[in-house]
Amino acid sequence: MRWLVRLVALIAVAAALGGGRSGETLAASGSGGALVIDCNTVASGVQSACAYAAGATFSVRVNVAKAPAGGFFAHQTKVRWNDAQIDYLPASDLATENLWSSCTFPVRRDNQTGGPADPSVLYACVPFPQLAQGETAAGPILQLQLRCQQNGATSLTLVPRLGDTQLGSHFLDANGSAIDPALTAATVTCGPAYAVAWGADATPASMNASDTANIALAFTNAGSMTWPAGGANPVRLSYHWRAGACPGTSTAVWDGRRATLPGDIAPSGAVSGLPLQIVTPSTAGTYCLVYDLVHEGVAWFSGRGAATLARTVTVNPRSYGVTWGAHTTPASITEGATVGVNLSFTNTSTFTWPVAGANPVRLSYHWRTGACPGTGTAVWDGRRAALPGDTVSGATIAGLPLQLAAPATAGTYCLVYDLVHEGVAWFSGRGASTLPVTVTITERPYDVAWGAHTTPATMAAGTQVGVNVSFTNAGGLTWPSGGPNPVRLSYHWRAGACPGTSTAVWDGQRAVLPGDVATGGTVSGLPLQIVTPLAPGPYCLVYDLVHEGVTWFGRQGAATLAVSVTVS
C-alpha cells in the first residue's frame, strides 16, 4: 500500500500542477523500453506520418514498442503538438482513453486549458493492487482524439521526463523509480485533401495543330492526401484545352492524355520534371492550356478546389511537307508485276509523323496514265510502307523499302510517290510535293487467255483421252512452233478436286502448235492427248503451256486452265 500511495502522489502532483514544485523529484532507475506514437489508428501498422483534411477528427495511439527489462508497473505519458494546427478533444470519461488492461487509476491533465502555455496532454496510469510482475507486453496503452483546426504540419512528440516540469514520459519500476524509454514522434499534416503547388514548366508559346509535344512539369503535393501512383484510383497528371487566351472562354478539349506519377506522393512530396505528352487541338487558334491532376474514378483536382496551371498557347495551322531524295525506281516494269524499290525523303512538315496509332503516316504511290505528269488516274491507292518510327520535323528517312504493284495493262505511266496521313489526308492534297517518275509498263512475255475446251468430267484410269482446247497469246512474246525451244500445249495432274492438294503428274503429253503464234493470235480447238492417272479418284487437270527448255508459262505468272475430273 505504501508503494501505491507514493506512486499516486508522485503522478498526481505532476498532473494536477502546472509544473513540479521546488524540491520534488522522482528517483530514476535508468533507461529502457520504447514508446512510439501511431498517428493513424485505422491503417495497419504504426504510422509516423499522416495527413488529414482541415476540420477532420482523428485518433492517435501511444504504443509500447518495447517494454523495459523487468517490465513496468505504471506509466506516465505526455504528448505535445503545435496548438495552431491541432486541437485535443478530451474524452468525458478519461478511462476510455486508457488502452492498458492493467490500469486501475488513470490520471489526466489537459494542458490546453487553464495550465501552462504548453499544447499537450499528460496521462498517467497505476494498477491496483500492485502487479506481481512487471508488464512486458508491447502494445497500445493510450488513445487520444484530435482535430485538425488549421492547415499546416505539426509534430506529435512524446515529451521526455528530464527537463520537463511535469516529469514528461516515463515508466515506473516496482520501487516507484522512473525508467526513461526511447521516444518516437509522428508528423501530422492538416489541410485540404486535394491541393497542388505548381513549379517550373517548359510550355512553348506556340504549337502546331494536331501535333504532340512532351512537356516536363514540376509540382508539389500541397494537400493532406497521399497521391497513389497505382491501384484502382491512381492520381495522374493531365490537362485541358480552353478556347481563347487564359483563362479561356469555353472548353475545347477536357480529357487530355495522362502521365503516371513516379511513385506514391505523400503530403509535401515533390515531383520534378515529369514528362507529359500534350496533343494539340486540330483547329488553329489561341488556346489556354490548363494543367490539372486527376484522381482517376474520383475527381479532377480542380473540381475539388485545387489550383491549376494555365498557359496561353498559339496553335498554328498544320503544314504538310516532304523533300524527296534518292530512289531506285526501274525504268520499266512488267505488267501486273510486283517490284521492290527504296526511297529517301525528309520531313518538312510542322508536325511529327506518327508511325502508329489511329492516324499513322505511310509512304505510298499513285499510277497516272501517260508520261509524267500524266493525263488521268489509273490507280489511286497504292501499297503502303510503314515508317521506321515517329519522324520529327527535319528528320530524314533513308532507303525505305516499298513494294510497287504495276498496272495490269502495258503502256507508259507516271508513277507518283506520295505520303498519306491515314484517315486524314494525302500529303499532296494538303499542298506537299510528290515525286513523279515516268515508267514503261511492258507486256508480260508469257500470258495466255483460255477459251473453249472439250474436257470430259469423267475419264477411265490409265487410258488416253483426246480433247480440244482453244487459247489466245496474251503475252508480249511470239510463240514459236518449231526450233530448239518451241512452245507446246501440255497439262499437269493434281490430286483432289481443283485446285488440288499435291502434284500427281507434272509432265503431261505435248501438242504442237499449228504455227508461230504472235501476240493476240488465237489457236482454236487444238487436239491434245491426255494420259490419265493409274489410280482412280478425284483430280484437277491443269492445262498449261511450256516453252520447251525455258519455262512453264504458269511459273511465269501466266494463267492456267484448271478442270476437276473424276478418274474411275
Q: State pLDDT tens for residues 342-387.
A: 999 999 998 889 999 989 999 999 999 999 999 999 999 999 999 9
The share of the chain scoring above pLDDT 70, in percent, equals 94
Contact 391, 397 (CB under 8 A): yes
Residue 13 has pLDDT above 60, yes or no: no
Q: Which residue has the higher pLDDT, 7 or 541?
A: 541
- Cα–Cα distance between 142 and 63 in angstroms, integer? 7
- Mean pLDDT over the full length of the chain: 92
What is the average per-residue pLDDT within 516-523? 96
Residue 16 has pLDDT above 50, yes or no: no
Per-residue 3-state assignment (H helix, E strand, C coil) for 127-187: CCCCCCCCECCCEEEEEEEEEECCCEEEEEEECECCCCCCCCEEEECCCCCEEEEEEECEE
DSSP 8-state class, residue 372: T
Omega before residue 499 within 30° of 0, cis: yes
Residue 36 has pLDDT above 80, yes or no: yes
C-alpha cell at 264: 506514391
The whole-number pLDDT of residue 268 equals 83
- Cα–Cα distance between 114 and 59 in angstroms, integer? 23
The whole-number pLDDT of residue 21 equals 35
The whole-number pLDDT of residue 117 equals 67
What is the average per-residue pLDDT within 243-272? 95
The whole-number pLDDT of residue 318 equals 83
CATH number 3.40.50.720 given to 448-567: no
- Tell the CATH superfamily of the 322-442 domain: Immunoglobulins (2.60.40.10)
Omega before residue 116 within 30° of 0, cis: no
CATH architecture label of 196-316: Sandwich (2.60)
Q: State pLDDT tens for residues 54-108.
A: 888 999 999 999 999 999 999 999 999 988 889 999 999 999 999 999 999 999 9
DSSP 8-state class, residue 51: E
CATH fold match for the domains 196-316 and 448-567:
yes
The whole-number pLDDT of residue 300 equals 97
Name the region of 119 (left: φ>0; alpha: ψ -120 to 50; beta: rest). beta
What is the fold of 2-190? Answer: Immunoglobulin-like (2.60.40)
**Boundaries of every domain in the chain:** 2-190, 196-316, 322-442, 448-567
pTM above 0.75, yes or no: no
Contact 194, 304 (CB under 8 A): yes
The whole-number pLDDT of residue 387 equals 98
Q: Which residues contact 378 (CB under 8 A, 6 or more apart)?
A: 367, 368, 369, 407, 413
The whole-number pLDDT of residue 360 equals 96
